[in-house]
Structure 1
Amino acid sequence: NGRCSIVLVFFLRCLLCRLFPCHQQKCGFRKVAKRAESKKEAEQAEMLHKRELNPQMEPPTPHHPGRSFGRLVKPLVFTVGFTGCSFGAAAIWQYESLKYRVQSYFNEVRADWLDKLRPQKHGDLRKQVNQWWNSLSEGQRSVTGIIVANALVFCCWRIPVLQHAMVKYFTSDPASKALCWPMLLSTFSHYSLLHMAANMYVLWSFSSSIVNLMGREQFMAVYLSAGVISTFVSYVCKTATGRLGPSLGASGAIMTVLAAVCTKMPEAKLAVIFLPIYTFSAGNALKAIVALDTTGLIMGWRFFDHAAHLGGALFGMWYILYGHELIWKNREPLVKLWHNFRTRGPGTGGSGSL
């Protein structure tokens, strides 16, 4: 039960994009009236003409949830398929990582021995970077790639020529033409620097705990799956309520990480970075966050994507309590299949072993 610093600030831009056509065509009814038509006939003609133009002049009515839910079939299939592929790839990654470590053990020993014989270079930038990298925990090294990816996407938002593509593929919106890939790409997308800094700080703070709890490979599968699952929950809630609009940010996936750590270690002491003298248990922090997002979802608050937060938190709690046993511990058949494929492939000379 270590003491951690946590920033519970999640900013999500929720932009409601609806276009209300307001053009009106005025035909020459006054001229017709001037041609000695009676006032009654002119009014009847004008009313008839307005009825004909009515579908163009009235603002579009909200989509009926029953019709809109049909658009969620494809995102649902993508969510299930991507989650399965993520955990399958993580299992194979773990297998290859273990195999590499065993095979390269003596090579690393030999490299260390040769490094000691070579004259040491002082002030070498590469050596300093290696020393910094080696000083990081395994969890911090695991999330460094995620942070770099978020920083690159943040820079892409500042390139004017990419704005259309960024809005289309790096924001998730159930009303958009692109539905599936934005569910993943929006997890790495932040338009505000403060939004990105807060999310990445929380991820960095909990990186060691979550990787020690799950391992590097399993953590990456959970994080990527959480981004897609939380976005799908947001899709469902937006479609049901009719409050459509784009969302972006890693908050849903980070809520999964936060919920997983707090569920596994509910007695761990947390503190707000601005008030480090006030500590509270991780379990109470998780309950407060879930209660806040539930209230925001019921009340219709639009400052945060509360549905995505709740989806991420519920997935994190479910995975720690049940998902680890149901998914990760049942990866052995896939690993055996991959092992047989690797050892009986061309040029292996028969069956082998790890």
Structure 2
Amino acid sequence: MFRATARRCLPRRSPPPTPATSSAPASRTAPPAVQPISFRATRQVGFTAATVVLAIGAGAWYTNQDTLERTSSSSSLFSSWSRTLSGAPGTGLQPSLARQRWEETYARASEWVARVPGNRLAIILAENWVEMSEAKRTSAGLIASFVGIWLAWKLPAKLGIGQWLAHQPLSGKAITLFTSTFSHRTLTHLGFNSIALFSFSGATFAALSHAGADLLPRSTSRYEFLTLFATAGVVSALASHLWFSRVIAGGLLRRGLTTREVRSAVLPSLGASGAVYALVSLTALSFPSTSVSLIFLPFFPIPIGLATSALVAVDVIGLVRGWRMFDHAAHLAGAAMGAGWCLAGHALFEQVRTWMWDGQKQRIEEEQGRRRDRGVGGWVSI
């Protein structure tokens, strides 16, 4: 689980000469102008703040919507709910609603298999998809997006897609704080982060589904999981941006390097490890007695608290000593986000849900009445 900054992850190539420059004598070709380096990060900070607010709002809304769609037919559940009873029966993940989601997933998979009769591969895929937990299915969807972006790196460089798949701290861009979270250029980088994401998704789902701060019932923790992943990813990318654009670039300029040399030295970064670190630290705080095993030493379990502390210590040392292979600033920010979500983020997410609940409940009840009149059903899970 690494967010990479090394040259091997994003090589820098000089653009090919244009016809105009290639035909002119070398002595008359002026080097392209280099824009001065700006240390302002207003755009990136604003983008990150907006992304966090939007992600939390969207995650809370979809969690409520999914839950209300499945409970609106039971008036007893609505009448028994109270905002003042934190942790009372009826809050947190409801097994009956989770079972309903699984049954809908099973029905959807069965319909898909029926459309390709006699296809043994389709049956195997459907069986494995249904047997996976919702946590694994969610992480599999994220990994599929990783693979899609990894394939996008294989497209011709002249298309210019790469500039939107990695975050260059000195580019002035903000959107790449988000897109780079899903981007991996090498297969090794993709593999490590995907394995870590898949491994910790189940524990993270369990922590989010059974936290004591729950104020409302819920049918799924998928949307909170995705909220945590997105916010941790963009915040860790912002931490990387601030470290390299202000600390590293500023230090190089003070040492007398030219603007062109500084721009060549400050490399782009990419990868989901900041978000994955958030899952690791949240799991370590939620289940401190859990043990983990390294990929290369599977028979030697290590207490998760010790393993997480060791990872954080390595990143602190790497940040102080200036190691450049991995993005240590992003790793540390991701770990901090996971700890923050465990201590306060989940409670904030639940509070946002309560702010939205009454309005959504009223709209859902009205919509359910119209659906019954039209004979239309509810949601279908995937």
TM-score range (shorter-chain normalised) is 0.7 to 0.9
Alpha-carbon offset, residue 152 of structure 1: 0.6
How much identity, in percent, do the aligned residues show? 27
Is 2:109 aligned against 1:140? no
182, 192, 213: which is aligned to 2:186? Answer: 192
Alignment RMSD (CA, Å)? 3.4
Q: Would the alpha carbon gap of residues 309 and 324 (structure 1) be closer, same or farther in structure 2, given more than 3 Å must change? A: same
Structure 2 counterpart of 1:164: 160
Structure 1 counterpart of 2:42: 73
| Gapped regions of structure 2 (runs ≥ 5) | 15-25, 74-96, 209-220, 250-265, 372-377
Structure 1 counterpart of 2:301: 279
Question: Contact 1:88 / 1:334 at 8 angstroms: preserved in 2?
Answer: no
Normalising by structure 1, we get a TM-score of 0.73
Structure 2 counterpart of 1:232: 238
Structure 1 counterpart of 2:224: 218
Which string of whole-angstrom CA distances, capped at 9 and with x for unpartnered residues, describes residues 21-62 of structure 1?
Answer: xxxx989xxxxxxxxxxxxxxxxxxxxxxxxxxxx99x9798
Which string of whole-angstrom CA distances, capped at 9 and with x for unpartnered residues, describes residues 145-176 of structure 1?
Answer: 1000000110111111565222x211012211
SS of residue in 2 equivalent to 1:280 = strand
192, 195, 201: which is aligned to 1:201? Answer: 195
Structure 2 counterpart of 1:151: 147
Question: Contact 2:68 / 2:361 at 8 angstroms: preserved in 1?
Answer: no
SS of residue in 1 equivalent to 2:302 = strand
Q: Would the alpha carbon gap of residues 124 and 26 (structure 1) be closer, same or farther in structure 2, given more than 3 Å must change? A: closer
Structure 1 counterpart of 2:214: none
SS of residue in 1 equivalent to 2:317 = helix
Alpha-carbon offset, residue 13 of structure 1: 3.3
Is 2:57 aligned against 1:88? yes
Alpha-carbon offset, residue 181 of structure 1: 1.4
Structure 1 counterpart of 2:6: 14
Cα distance in structure 1, aligned partners of 2:295 and 2:367: 53
Question: Contact 2:60 / 2:349 at 8 angstroms: preserved in 1?
Answer: no
Alpha-carbon offset, residue 122 of structure 1: 6.3
SS of residue in 2 equivalent to 1:173 = coil
Structure 2 counterpart of 1:131: 127
One-letter code aligned to 1:212: A
SS of residue in 2 equivalent to 1:146 = helix
Is 2:331 aligned against 1:309? yes
Structure 2 counterpart of 1:297: 319
Q: Rg larger in 1 or in 2?
A: 1
Cα distance in structure 2, aligned partners of 1:161 and 1:293: 32
Alpha-carbon offset, residue 346 of structure 1: 12
One-letter code aligned to 1:91: A
Cα distance in structure 2, aligned partners of 1:205 and 1:347: 42
Cα distance in structure 1, aligned partners of 2:365 and 2:180: 38
Is 2:180 aligned against 1:174? no
Question: Contact 1:156 / 1:162 at 8 angstroms: preserved in 2?
Answer: no
Aligned residue pairs, count? 294
Normalising by structure 2, we get a TM-score of 0.68
Q: Would the alpha carbon gap of residues 157 and 123 (structure 1) be closer, same or farther in structure 2, given more than 3 Å must change? A: closer
Alpha-carbon offset, residue 85 of structure 1: 1.0
| Gapped regions of structure 1 (runs ≥ 5) | 1-8, 20-24, 28-55
Q: Would the alpha carbon gap of residues 101 and 339 (structure 1) be closer, same or farther in structure 2, given more than 3 Å must change? A: closer
